Amino acid sequence: MASNKNKLAFLSMPAPASYVAGLGRGASGFTTRSDIGPAREGPSAEVIAEAQARRGEEPEIDPEQFQDPDNEYGLFAGTTYEQDDEEADKIYDDVDQKMDSRRRARREARENAELAKHRAERPKIQQQFADLKRGLSVVTDQEWESIPEVGNLTRKKRRKDERTFVVPDSIIVGDRSKSEYENSLDTRQQQANGFETPADTGTMTNFVEIGQARDKILSLKLDQISGTATTSGSATSVDPKGYLTSLNSVVLKTEAEIGDIKRARMLFDSLVKSNPKHAPGWIAAACLEEHAGRMVAARKLIKAGCEQCPKSDDVWLEAARLHNNDDAKVILANAVQHVGQSVKIWLAAADLEQDVKSKKRVLRKALENIPNSVRLWKETVNLEESATDARILLSRAVEVIPLSVELWLALARLETPERAKAVLNKARKSVPTSHEIWIAAGRLLEQGATGDPDKSTETRNKELELVDKTIELGVRELRRHQVLLTREQWLKEAERCESDGSPRTCEAIIKATVSMEVEEEDRLDTWVSDAESAEAKGMVGTARAVLAYALKVFPDQRNLWRKAADLEKAHGTKESLDGVLSQAVHYCPQAEVLWLMSAKEKWLAGDVPAAREVLEKAFIANPESEQIWLAAVKLEAENGELGVARELLVRARTVADTERIWMKSAVFERQQGQYAAALETVSTALSKFPKFAKLYMIQGQIRQMEKHYSTARASYAAGLKACPKEITLWVLASKLEELDGRSIKARALLEKGRLVNPANEILWAESVGVEERSGGAAQAKAMLARGLQECPSSGLLWSMSIWAEPRPTRKSRSVDALKKSKDNPLITCTVARLFWTERKIEKARQWFSRSVATEQDKDIGDHWGWWLKFERQHGTPEYVEEVIKQGVAAEPHHGPVWQVIAKDDKNVGKSTKELLAMVADALQ
């Protein structure tokens, strides 16, 4: 025992200072709070400074503390922060913000430039591998399958995890008993004759018969319940057919809903007890019980509510709603005794009646109690089938309620025109502040003037002038009675009159009110905006009336006449357009556009002599106008008067003597096959206008057609020397060299043109075309990439880039193109063609429509050609006709294929519709 005590004596001894538990097994020591004692807070700065002062030491001063102006613990540590200090800080902050805002734009621009440069030098990994990721889309399934699996590349042998476990005995015993068979019965089984089941005496379970029996029992129970002749009187009548249907309509509520209903019931119970005269509380409590499916409780509650709040019509209406039709009639009859002046109660009582006669009886009883209700009179009149009875009722109604405008207008509509005037006069005297009565009077006068087709034009115009006078008088009378409607309200009334089929009343309202509340210097802009907004709403008559009034005030505004002409061209008739243009050229004789529009409309209408007459008048007003001269030449040339057209050109060169007239003269001679006369005209024109590039083009094209390539090359060279900025000259010169088999010279010419005209997409596109036609696909792709670097937002180059891509990557390329080119119409048309190739018909149609959305886009004829080609292949004849109609209305002039076909001498004089069909056939 003693030896054991000595052996364990060290356990009660303190551990050595350097002892670390488990050090022999590789443990390391650590220190806890119990080893070093509790944490103590060090001396504060004041205590340290006091101790240094007792020892005679001076505190250390940081030499940098006075260098920071925001650091006030040094020199100004003991001062007080006052209001002037705060004001000074605010001033300094404002100055800092002002200085920062002055340099902010430059700083942000510099930072953006540096960021762009940094991203260009060090692009993200995602951007570096973007093209490779797109390339993965073309990898086939076989290539994916042939990629080898990644093996162990570390060259280290991995030890297999081969762990074994002892199998329990229960698994072994169970596995052994699986293959055993029992060949004897135990004692209990022997006493019960084993598992014998005689097949000849047993019965099989028939589930069909069980289901039929169940249905039969259910039908018997329903028949018993539905018996009406009972002696006890406790049985209820149940509809056996609707019983199961009603069971399906039962809504099973969750426990949460039941709990909410109970809480709400307690709240409403407290509400009606604390404030029994509060009608909404009774209504809400009854609705809650109805929602819970307790109709009896709901009816009891609403009955108590009717007793407590007999003056509330809402309670009576809710009670009627909760009961059946017969009980509701009784309830509303009681309600009338308490709230006999309630219109809603009488209307609800009338709605409960099934036949019209009973409804009339209820409403007339209501009018005896409430004769000044407009709604009751209107409901009563609506039930009348005879116009005479309705007129009698309305006559009585306006006597009882003389201030109701609706009743006066309804009575006027039922009267004859003559008696309607008397009715409206009475109404105007009874309600002098109503503008509807004056408008109705104007519409009545217009109806009387236009209703009889046998009236003469002079009589009709005199009667229509009464409409203007009536509306003008009405506006004055309304102002006299201090009724001031705004311009917007009058414009809405005018639009309403136009919608109701009274255009002259609409025009009269515009004449009388459109100049209200408008400053003199803002009149033109305001009226133009009013006309545009009305036209956008489809109110053409209102827009026409506004423009007509504006033209009376500003008859010398050619832009205003142009808007009026465009409005008539879009929505009016040929006669109205001709009338507007005739007045326009009368008031603005110097407006060449109006003369040309007038002549063109007469020419399109087939009246060529009238068009000639208009142009002759235009010559008198504008003798030196090249547009009018050229329009006259075109008119004569299109109608086969070639000699007259040539004489007109000679006179035009003498009178006007402009470069465009000389050019048209040369083109006219070329179209007639007179190449020598055309060259002579061009030579004379070049001596007068050596800087006009189109003359060089015509000269070179004529010599090229004559196969004189050397002289054509000299013409283009002279043109490039005189007009180095003309892009078309460079392209024509390049095509001439390519036609002559000198692709190297064509490439050199385009390179020179790009140096003279940097960042020009047409020259880059032509260079790519030269490389493609010479058979260098790789060189063409490299040239295209260079062009996109110099012209990153070029729609033409991006379109070529999309088609240069493989088919799977074109869609992603088109997304990049749309982002870079900012929805260029060329890219939009290219995307539509991509959808076309993928057989996405509706999407392709939408994108074709987007490619010709704006006025600038509509001028590109190639887009109309692609759309027409698409509709011919996939659209219906209606779609084809609609595209042709829109294309003819747009009158396109540009596009590579369109210009080639339209300027071909063989196609001179062909219509836009024919040219559109030819372009659609030529596009590939």
Which of these, 879, 861, 876, 877, lies nearest to 917 by C-alpha position?
861
Residue 82 DSSP label: -
Once rounded to an integer, what is the mean pLDDT over residues 635-645? 82
Question: How much is the pLDDT for 69?
Answer: 52
Model confidence pLDDT, tens digit, residues 327-386:
888 888 888 888 878 888 888 888 888 888 888 888 888 888 888 888 888 887 887 877
8 A C-beta contact, residue 533 and residue 493 = no
Give SS3 for 894.
strand
User: With bands split at pLDDT 50, 70 and 90, how would you rate the model's confidence at 831?
Assistant: very high
Those residues with Cβ within 8 angstroms of residue 671's Cβ, 6 or more apart along the chain or in another chain: 905, 908
| Cα–Cα–Cα angle for 221, 227, 230, rounded to 5 degrees | 120
The residue that leads in pLDDT, 550 or 388, is: 550
The residue that leads in pLDDT, 250 or 154, is: 154
Which three-class secondary structure string do you get for 149-184? CCCCCCCCCCCCCCCCCCCCHHHHHHHHHHCCCCCC
Model confidence pLDDT, tens digit, residues 377-425:
888 788 787 777 778 778 888 887 888 778 787 777 777 777 777 788 8
Question: How much is the pLDDT for 23?
Answer: 66
Which three-class secondary structure string do you get for 489-507? HHHHHHHHHHHCCCHHHHH
Question: How much is the pLDDT for 335?
Answer: 86
User: The whole model's pTM is what?
Assistant: 0.57
Q: Has residue 706 got a pLDDT over 70?
A: yes
> Which two structure tokens, joined as six digits, stand for 263?
């809480």
Cα dihedral sign, 843-844-846-850: positive
- Cα gap 879→873, rounded to integer Å: 11
C-alpha radius of gyration, the chain, whole number: 49
Where helices occur in 605-708 by DSSP H, the ranges are 608-621, 626-638, 642-655, 659-671, 675-688, 693-705
Once rounded to an integer, what is the mean pLDDT over residues 729-733? 92
Which of these, 672, 725, 724, 734, lies nearest to 700 by C-alpha position?
734
Least confident of 237-251, 299-313, 704-718: 237-251
Model confidence pLDDT, tens digit, residues 494-516:
888 888 888 888 988 888 888 88
